[in-house]
Amino acid sequence: MSRVRLYDLGCGYRAGDKGNISDVALFAPDPEVYELVRAAVTAARVKEHFGGFVTGAVERYEAPNVLALNFVLHDALGGGGPRSLRADNLGKTLGGALVRLEIDVPAALADRRAPTPDVGWAVEILSRIGR
């Protein structure tokens, strides 16, 4: 068994807010990884991963129709959007923070790595405007 980050396994993410709750969705790339994360990424594991960022409970829900797990992080936004002192007062970046989590995977998946973003088009645009 090797430890691999969820992001390197191909998982996607999106986070949203409701009051002081952060809802973080985790999307698997295929059924095989979905079953892996379903077994490994428990509510307790996620609670531990976020440490002091999340002072309340963590609940987990399954959405197998879209190969996703949905995590509800209670007391996770420093009091909620308009009350929070955090720069990311809505927790928009907590999805990315989730896929940093590492899980044990079989040897066949051990070498999986996230692709390198190709932003050549952006560099080209910026060079055109003189940057």
Partner 1 sequence: MGVRIGGGQGFYGDTPRSVAGLLDAGVDYLCLEALAELTLAILQKDRQRDETRGYTRDLPAYLAAALPAVAAGKTKVITNAGGINPTAAARAAIDTAHRLGLSGITVATVLGDDLTGRLDAIAGQAELRHLESGAPFADFPAPALFASAYLGARPIVDALAAGADVVVTGRVADAALFLAPLVHEHGWSFDDWDRLAAGTLVGHLLECSGQSAGGNLSRDWWTIPRPWDLPYPIAEVDGDGSALITKPPDSGGRVSFDTVRHQLLYEVHDPAAYLSPDVVADFTSAHFVDEGDDRVRVTDVRGGPATATYKALLCHHAGWAGEARIAFSWPEAAEKATATAAIFAERVRGAGLPVDEWHFELWGVDALGGPTVPATTAEVPEVMLRAAWRCADARTASLVGREMIPLTLSGPPAGMTGMGRGAGAPSELLGLWPTLVDKALIDPHVTVTLEEVR
Q: By CB under 8 A, which span of 31-39, 103-111, 112-120 interacts with partner 1?
A: 112-120
44 sits near partner 1 (criterion: CB under 8 A): no
Between CA 26 and CA 107 the distance in angstroms is 22
Q: By CB under 8 A, which span of 36-44, 48-56, 104-112 interacts with partner 1?
A: 48-56
Q: 25-35 in b/e burial notation, b at 16+ Cβ within 10 A?
A: bbbbeeeebbe
14 sits near partner 1 (criterion: CB under 8 A): yes
Binding mask 20-39 toward partner 1 (x if CB under 8 A, else -) reads xx-x-x-x------------
Name which position in 2, 39, 45, 86 contacts partner 1 (CB under 8 A).
Answer: 86
**How many binding residues for partner 1 (CB under 8 A)?**
57
Is 62 buried (19+), middle (13-18) or exposed (0-12) by CB count in 10 A? exposed
